[in-house]
Amino acid sequence: MSDEPHFLKQATADESETKAMRIARKSATEATLEPLQLGQRVRAIRLSQNLTLEEASKRTGLARSTLSKIENEQISPTFSAVNKLVHGLGIDIPQLFAQPRTGASAGGRRDITRKGEGKPHPTPTYEHELLATQLTQKKMVPFRTRVHTRTFDEFDEWIRHEGEEFLYVLSGEILFYTEFYEPVTLNEGDSAYYDCTMGHALVSTSEQDAEVLWVTA
């Protein structure tokens, strides 16, 4: 993992950011990751369940007016509000943060992802490359992951979430830790299927980072 460039630190005169810079930075970041129309998605989900704002309000514990404003993208809900939404209505989590992109027509959907052209999503422990991100509303979420963890200590807690997961080792050797089993070594071509509610974690035991294919449902 690359460190923060040090040359940033020795700037003394440049330390103070001009207002112009700040504004530029602000609009830059917001431009790149703001097109996240949460509202549209919430409305679509609510309507698909034939719920009125009032009913959705009851389920989520959010005021009718608040829901309306969220759906019309007049406000950016707080984390706790999003949580209520997610749990109140059943919202597909991974999709929430994925870029929507204009999906194909309803009938025969198809999405091709070329090697290395998925959507990168690095984390401290894994380096994910999300596949088939053009399609939303999928049953499965596929991604290719580079495991650069080398010791189990690098995890501060189990990874644990809803659903089931299929794992296939593309290259390298990994140690597959699970909460209720002995850790097991997996080599290229080996695979595993498991309950995600059970804590799990991967560690690369090979020279290079191991690469795995993961599919969650």
Cα of 159 vs its chain's centroid, Å: 13
Task: Choose, by CB under 8 A, the member of 25, 65, 74, 208 that binds a copy of itself.
Answer: 25
Q: Tell me which of a copy of itself, DNA, none is bound by residue 45, counting a contact when its beta carbon lies within the kind-specific cut-off of 5 to 8 angstroms.
A: a copy of itself
- Are 145 and 214 spatial neighbours (Cβ–Cβ below 8 Å)? yes
Dihedral over alpha carbons 150, 199, 186, 141 (to 10 degrees):
-100
Dihedral angle over CA of 125, 210, 4, 29, nearest 10? -70
* Interaction of residue 9 with DNA, rule CB under 7 A: yes
Q: How far is the CB of 82 from DNA (least distance, A)?
A: 8
Q: Which of 65, 72, 74, 162 binds a copy of itself (CB under 8 A)?
A: 162
Q: What is the DSSP letter of 155?
A: -
CB-based contact 188:170 (threshold 8 Å): yes
Q: Does 52 bind DNA (CB under 7 A)?
A: yes
138 binds a copy of itself (CB under 8 A): yes
Q: Is 34 in the site for a copy of itself (CB under 8 A)?
A: yes
Compute the least distance from the CB of residue 18 to a copy of itself, in Å.
10
Copy the structure tokens of residue 102. Answer: 């204009």
- Binder of DNA out of 38, 62, 174, 201 (CB under 7 A): 62
**Residue (52 or 197) nearer to DNA, CB:** 52
Q: Does 161 bind a copy of itself (CB under 8 A)?
A: yes
Q: For tokens 């070594």, what's the residue?
A: 185
Considering the rule CB under 8 A, would residue 16 count as an interface residue with a copy of itself? yes
103 lines the binding site for a copy of itself (CB under 8 A): yes
Site membership for DNA, residue 37 (CB under 7 A): no
Specify which residues 7 forms β-bridges with.
none
Handedness of CA 15, 16, 18, 22 (dihedral sign): positive
